[in-house]
Copies of this chain bind each other. A is one copy, B any other.
Amino acid sequence: MKAAPAEFRALCHRHRLAATHQRQVIYEAVMSLPGHPSPEDIYEKARKSIPSISLATVYKNIRAFLDKGLLQEVSLHHGSLRVDANHDPHHHLVCTRCRSIMDLDEAEMVPPRFRQKLPRGFKVLRISVDVLGICAECASKKARRA
């Protein structure tokens, strides 16, 4: 066991997670990687510190971090392809609990505006807003664990 900064231990303690070496290496891998790494990316990075680490351990700990709120998912709907036949511009109401998706007509939102210029020649085609929250159904089903 090496570094094990007190910060990480505190972070784990705060979230009721045991501060294991693997967990720390995985967490540091996430933090050190640019952009939004995939489990595979994280695995490759973590292997540099712990060559014997298992991909399943990476998955399991990512899930633990997500469940506890240390990390969040870039997109809630990555499990399966969903098609959208609605050609009218619209946004989505997404339930973070059951992952259901409802349409929200574009007219129901004030058009998004930027304060600054967008970076380096990015050419905007359209803007898609996900309103994340808890749908009425899920809300009525009692509160669950965080």
Contacts and interface: CB of A to CB of B under 8 A. Distances in A.
The oligomer's copy count stands at 2
Interface in A112-143: 112-116, 118-136, 139-140
B124 A115 contact: no
Contact of A78 (B30, B38, B75): B75
Interface in A93-113: 93, 95-96, 100-102, 104, 107-110, 112-113
Interface in A9-67: 30-31, 35-40, 42, 62, 65-66
29 contacts: A30-B85, A36-B84, A36-B101, A37-B82, A71-B84, A73-B81, A74-B83, A75-B75, A75-B77, A77-B78, A78-B82, A96-B125, A102-B122, A104-B118, A108-B115, A108-B116, A109-B113, A109-B115, A110-B114, A110-B115, A121-B135, A122-B135, A123-B133, A123-B139, A124-B133, A125-B134, A126-B133, A128-B130, A129-B129
